[in-house]
Amino acid sequence: ALLPVALLLLSGCSATPEFKDPPLVDHRYTADPSAHAWNGRLYIYPSHDIPTDAPYPDEGGRFVMRDYHVFSLAQAGGAVTDHGVALDIDEVPWAERQMWAPDAAKKGDDYYLYFPAKDSQGIFRLGVAHSDSPTGPFTPEPDPIDGSFSIDPAVFEDEGDYYLYFGGIWGGQLQRWQDGRYSAEDRYPADDQPALMPQVARLSADMKSLAHPPKAVELLYPDGSPIVAGDNEKRFFEAAWVHKYQGTYYFSYSTGDTHKIVYATGSSPYGPFTYQGVILEPVLGWTNHHSITEFDGQWYLFYHDTELSGGKTHLRNIKMMPLQHRENGRIETVSAFRR
């Protein structure tokens, strides 16, 4: 968990790093913030981290979350309201453990919460729950979304259509799905072969099912070739997010074991997306996970680090900071630390 700070120190900054932004809340641990501006208010759908002594193998066994709380703000920098439990794992018939990073969508006056959890077989699936309020409580469907798998759902609305992005390697199990079928064996491509790509499917009109089987989202180098599995600085790990700026689609994601949030751009919500650069440098803590949303005419990056827990990777806190798109469409690289 201290690796990102060690890197910072090695990169020439000798003083103890100072955090740029305060945690948005400090009365509970929160992570993976998916933010949306709806009805003139900012709503944040994070994971709810809880303490545990569970071992911390590569499969993310310490992320033992069991419920979701929704948070909201009337203005950036203003008071943050915790709206209480929006969904508890005991209400989801198929879910047994590990409610990881969620997202939400608004369609008319209906709100949908999308979330991953492991079923009784230990397999990650994606669930959906409905509410007539952005803050819940949400009523879950009795079964996972048919055809869904892996983790980190993110929903992007474009011209009346809704697209569900998802996937994560290692603990997120994407490497166990080939041709839409699960196999308990981890199968990774060779380092010089195309990396495992995130998944996308358009949602059906009911927002509770996929309109077609998931497709791979192609992430490319500027020369048009696919990003390869051995390129840990650029290949997809988890935490997909899509936003649109001046007609261009921005696909951003975490590089996992190199701890960055990076982005690629394209001209369709299905991709392909061409790699552009780093949005957020490593934070304190192993995981890096974000969302990007415009609110009151300003774009913001929502992210997490482990300031409150003093570096415990499974006990994180959500934060936000302004994000700048440059005139050429590039995004300004930011750090969670002051330099």
User: What residues act catalytically?
Assistant: 32, 238
As measured in angstroms, the least distance from the Cβ of 134 to ligand FUB is 21
HSE (side-chain half, CA atoms, 13 Å) at 332: 12
Interface pattern 136-165 for ligand FUB (x via CB under 6 A): ---------------xx-------------
Q: Which of residues 63-92 bind ligand FUB (CB under 6 A)?
A: 63
Cis amide bond preceding 137, omega within 30: yes
As measured in angstroms, the least distance from the Cβ of 235 to ligand FUB is 15
Interface pattern 281-300 for ligand FUB (x via CB under 6 A): ------x-x-----------
Q: Which of residues 13-52 bind ligand FUB (CB under 6 A)?
A: 31-32, 47
As measured in angstroms, the least distance from the Cβ of 108 to ligand FUB is 28
Query: Among residues 101, 117, 217, 318, which is the contact residue for ligand FUB, using CB under 6 A?
Result: 101
As measured in angstroms, the least distance from the Cβ of 254 to ligand FUB is 6
DSSP designation for 206? T
Residue type, 78: G
Q: How many helices (H) and strands (E) does the chain have?
A: 1, 24
CB atoms within 10 A of CB 38: 14
Q: 136: Cβ–Cβ under 8 A, 6 or more apart, which residues?
A: 68, 70, 83, 85, 86, 87, 111, 113, 129
Of residues 151 and 331, the one with the C-beta less far from ligand FUB: 151
Of residues 47 and 173, the one with the C-beta less far from ligand FUB: 47
What gap in Å lies between CA 322 and CA 199, rounded to an integer? 28
335: left (phi over 0), alpha (psi -120 to 50) or beta: beta
Total residues binding ligand FUB (CB under 6 A): 14
- At 329, list the tokens: 């469409």
- Which residues of the shown chain bind ligand FUB in the complex (CB under 6 A)? 31-32, 47, 60, 63, 100-101, 151-152, 168, 238-239, 287, 289
